[in-house]
Chain A
Amino acid sequence: MAASKNLVRSESGKIRRVVVVGGGLAGLTTVIKLCEAGVPVDLFSLVPVKRSHSVCAQGGINASVNTKGEGDSPQVHLEETAYGGDFLANQPPVKAMCDAAPGIVFLLDRMGVPFNRTPEGLLDFRRFGGTLFHRTAFAGATTGQQLLYALDEQVRRWETVDLEDDKGDRVPGEKMVRKFEAWDFVGLVLDDHGTCRGIVAQDLKNTEIKAFPGDAVCLATGGVGIIFGKSTNSVINTGTATSTAYQQGACYGNGECIQVHPTAIPGADKLRLISESVRGEGGRVWVPRDPTEQRRGRDVPESQREYFLEEKYPGYGNLVPRDIASRELFKKCFHEKRGVYNRQSGKNENEVYLDVTHIPSETLRKKLAGVLEIYEKFAGEDPYTNPMRVFPAVHYTMGGLWVDFERSANGSLVTGSPRNQATNIPGLYAVGEADYQYHGANRLGANSLLSCIWGGMATGPAIASYRKNLARSAWDMPSSLFERAEKREQKKYESILAMDGEENAYQLHQELAHTMLVDCTIERHNATLDKVLAKIDEIDGRMKRVGVTDTVQGKMNQGAQFVRHMQNMVVLARVIAQGARNRDESRGAHYKPDFPQRDDENFLRTTMAMHQGAENGSPATVRYVRELDYDLLGTPVHVTDAVDISLVKPRARKYDTAGAASAVAQSGPKASPAAQNAPAASTEKA
């Protein structure tokens, strides 16, 4: 069938919009790219997009601009990202991302992001984990917030831009972007061929459930940290949207790859992140050599401090990748019982010192004020004069919806290929932390903002070309398709409102989260994981006996909404735990003491999970596949779980010698006047 000619209006005269769900960096970039390609968008978000979780990113965004004359390049960035992820990421998308990074940072600068500057007025760059180069552009220590605001502003501008039809005439009353904020995604609209034709969403302010056609749908709904309860994630990061798509047939990739960040502070509701940039600017991690030490951190003399990361990893010191740093902190506190003494609780806590007191306060104020302010407000102690007390916390979802890519002749991506960022459900795309694509088994610091924005820059054009070649617009599908989907979701919601059992969904969440956090994060044991899986089944069963805490109809009802999110969290928890159980090796953030080595022969492959719904009273299960076929615009595409390692050959991953992470830069950065003031932290304090 030939693609329909009019790209603005459907045959029945409706405006042909696409749907983007999620308004963080990835979603907003996708929207901007679509608008520039002339594609009108309906943008859905749980919260006003300016409040998306991207605001929490602190440290910066990576781009090998090499303004310090260290010999950095996108090639080194690619190598270090692949190595940092322990070779589980397909390399062509990573190459495309690293090549695009300098342009992305310049673009953000043009959008008005107040990046820190050098004396010459150029962008300043700082160090981050897993590299020796100054590669991270930053706006104080609230870079994610500043990037989100810049993209939010551009999308707001598109909200005011009139839509033009294919002849270039303005369409009265129609703008390029329509925003639906405080709407919860509840399901995909799939036609009889399994093609995605739109979404069903719920207006949270009045609980109305409504279907929306979309020529394509893009999920940019972020990670799943709330499955682990208290984490560095925002309360909205439940993974409800990706879980729903998975339950409707989307493949989920590398679910077991969950990043634990080494440095966060305790809280009753959240574990607040203390950015890696603190160590990038010279912050040092230590514990007293004497475990019975009771003096305040600042009173412990230098000779009695053990800088354990610097001692064990002289090459990268405090800036080893997060999986390694988290394991070392965990070992220090749990296995060696060396956590520092806490004067408030009167005992040794599972915390280590993160110390910036040796750095001039003027430097701290200019480069780290945002994050030190968080420590001061929430820990109630001045980090300028007292070493901070920190511990690891669940932070980032490397896994996510499986997405495809089309490799170009030079090993990068074919620009605008409709395969890029496409899930196995035709017409459904995924981007940002919601996809699994860029970070392998461990993400390097400051690569997440980059992967979100780059992902959006790949997804926008991919959707535009998909839509161009689409035989029939979603806007020409029979209305019964959308009515059916709407009814299905209304019925589900009504069944939640009718739940009157004895269980409390919030308490069940706490139980699930506790199990996941304790037994499915830094160290994983098969016997324990079996218990985790049994616990997930148990909670799944008890979820059916929940009593909804709020039965109000037609008005904001967070209680009923939470039950839905919790149902979806249980499903993804199983994907994460079962994936961890199956992967009998150690790779990046996935670490099994019983299988301490990486096993490329058996496990250098993507974990591809498919949902198998509950049957005959037995709980839902996960079906793992080694390959799958999906239809793209009438052409079958065959993919396997093999990882594309065509650009950087896998080798053992070690961080004890400087420059180990990159073959082209074995010796590390070239000495340069600009770099001399920030060598590896181990030599920083004489």
Chain B
Amino acid sequence: MAQDKKVRLKVQRQDGPGLSSYWQEFELPWQPHMNVISALMEIQKRPLTADGKKTTPVVWESVCLEEVCGSCTMVINGRVRQSCSAMIDQLAPGGETITLQPMTKFPVVRDLMVDRARMFADLKRVKAWIQLDGSHELGAGPRQSQDNQETTYPLSRCMTCGCCLEACPQVNPSSDFVGPAAINQVRLFNLHPSGQMHAGERLDAVMGEGGVEGCGKAQNCVEVCPKEIPLVDSISSVGRDTTKRMLLGWLLK
């Protein structure tokens, strides 16, 4: 009977930044079309653990629930991904326990919510924008080929979700590697006809310490990117450009 079907969650909880974590289990009634988010929403309505103890609802971050905002990223059954598109029937067809953990490469705010401020700071560092003269009317933008659009659009779908940083072995407490997401933005803006005019500044930002050289070519990033952004291509492309720039700078000395 569908009505008796249960969803079992095992959640790694943490009451606040810097505190130690602990596990809690939950058992919820199954519903059609259920995803991890709707399971967590059920806990809000009835905050009880599997053994019936009263608890606080699990804290997590979510906005769009359709995998375009990047908010609800967490580690589900050991794999980093968005929890909105994590469908219960696919994860646990036989009612298996699903484990939820916060990402490990960012400081925990509470439970499954982490602070990804560093990713936004990195967008500043690599100047991920067009140097606009102003928002007044200046007529049409530069013409672009369909080919260029088809190359840049997929790069531009990065949601700053953090999956690639979570999966990258080079992003760790003892390294300051900027990670694939920001490097991909360098490629994106350097491909734009006006963005190109400031390509050097962006390349400088990922040259040297913590820059593109930090990539260890593990290729985990493309494996986990929910938008299938060709991150490895982006890293190699930016790597080639920084090498050229370095050599050029050396020759001009």
Does B bind A? yes
Contacts of B135 in A (CB 8 A): 29, 32-33, 36, 107, 154, 457
Chain B count of residues within 8 A CB distance of the other chain: 72
Contact B56 A112 (CB under 8 A): no
Cα distance A378–B84 when bound, in Å? Answer: 9
Q: Give, as a whole number of angstroms, the nearest-CB distance from A357 to chain B.
A: 22
Q: Residue on A with the closest CB to B16?
A: A555
Contacts of A53 in B (CB 8 A): 63-64
Q: Give, as a whole number of angstroms, the nearest-CB distance from A142 to chain B.
A: 6
Q: Would you call A270 an interface residue if the criterion is a C-beta within 8 Å of the partner chain's C-beta atoms?
A: yes
Cα distance A342–B143 when bound, in Å? Answer: 47
Q: Would you call A374 an interface residue if the criterion is a C-beta within 8 Å of the partner chain's C-beta atoms?
A: yes
Cα distance A32–B110 when bound, in Å? Answer: 33
Q: Would you call A345 an interface residue if the criterion is a C-beta within 8 Å of the partner chain's C-beta atoms?
A: yes
Cα distance A47–B66 when bound, in Å? Answer: 16
Q: Kindly identify which residue among B16, B38, B109, B132 contacts A154, using a CB–CB cutoff of 8 Å.
A: B132
Q: Would you call A663 an interface residue if the criterion is a C-beta within 8 Å of the partner chain's C-beta atoms?
A: no
Cα distance A205–B17 when bound, in Å? Answer: 10
- B66-93 residues with Cβ-Cβ distance < 8 A to A are 66-71, 84-85, 87, 90
Contact B160 A50 (CB under 8 A): yes
Contact B37 A269 (CB under 8 A): yes
Cα distance A454–B115 when bound, in Å? Answer: 32
Cα distance A337–B189 when bound, in Å? Answer: 52
Q: Give, as a whole number of angstroms, the nearest-CB distance from A162 to chain B.
A: 14
Q: Would you call B199 an interface residue if the criterion is a C-beta within 8 Å of the partner chain's C-beta atoms?
A: no
CB < 8 Å A-B pair total:
198
Cα distance A675–B150 when bound, in Å? Answer: 23
Q: Residue on B with the closest CB to A116?
A: B149
Q: What sequence of 0s and 1s flags, for each residue 137-168 of chain A, a beta carbon within 8 Å of any chain B beta carbon?
A: 00110100110011001101101100000000
Contact A366 B150 (CB under 8 A): yes
> Assuming A117-B149, A235-B63, is B130 touching A142 (CB within 8 A)?
no
Q: Residue on B with the closest CB to A33?
A: B135
Contact A153 B128 (CB under 8 A): yes
Cα distance A55–B160 when bound, in Å? Answer: 13
Contact A268 B144 (CB under 8 A): no
Cα distance A114–B142 when bound, in Å? Answer: 12
Q: Kindly identify which residue among B66, B144, B160, B192 contacts A272, using a CB–CB cutoff of 8 Å.
A: B66
> Assuming A51-B63, A51-B71, A559-B56, is B144 touching A121 (CB within 8 A)?
yes
Q: What sequence of 0s and 1s flags, for each residue 34-70 of chain A, a beta carbon within 8 Å of any chain B beta carbon?
A: 0010000000000110111101100000000000000
Contact A556 B69 (CB under 8 A): no
Stretch at the interface among B27-35, B96-104, B164-172: B27-35
Contact B141 A552 (CB under 8 A): no
Q: Would you call B23 an interface residue if the criterion is a C-beta within 8 Å of the partner chain's C-beta atoms?
A: no
Q: Give, as a whole number of angstroms, the nearest-CB distance from B107 to chain A.
A: 10
Q: What sequence of 0s and 1s flags, for each residue 271-298 of chain A, a beta carbon within 8 Å of any chain B beta carbon?
A: 0110000000000000000000000000
Q: What sequence of 0s and 1s flags, for each residue 117-148 of chain A, a beta carbon within 8 Å of any chain B beta carbon?
A: 11111110000000000000001101001100
Question: Could you list 12 examples of A-B contacts with CB < 8 Å?
Answer: A47-B69, A52-B69, A103-B137, A118-B146, A119-B146, A146-B153, A160-B124, A205-B115, A374-B66, A457-B135, A506-B45, A558-B59
Knowing that A48-B160, A205-B109, A234-B63 touch, tell me 16 more A-B residue pairs with CB under 8 angstroms.
Answer: A47-B61, A48-B116, A48-B120, A50-B70, A50-B160, A109-B141, A122-B143, A150-B130, A269-B65, A270-B65, A270-B66, A506-B44, A549-B56, A550-B57, A552-B56, A558-B57
Q: 5 shortest A-B CB distances, which residue pairs?
A: A109-B141, A121-B143, A268-B38, A153-B129, A269-B38
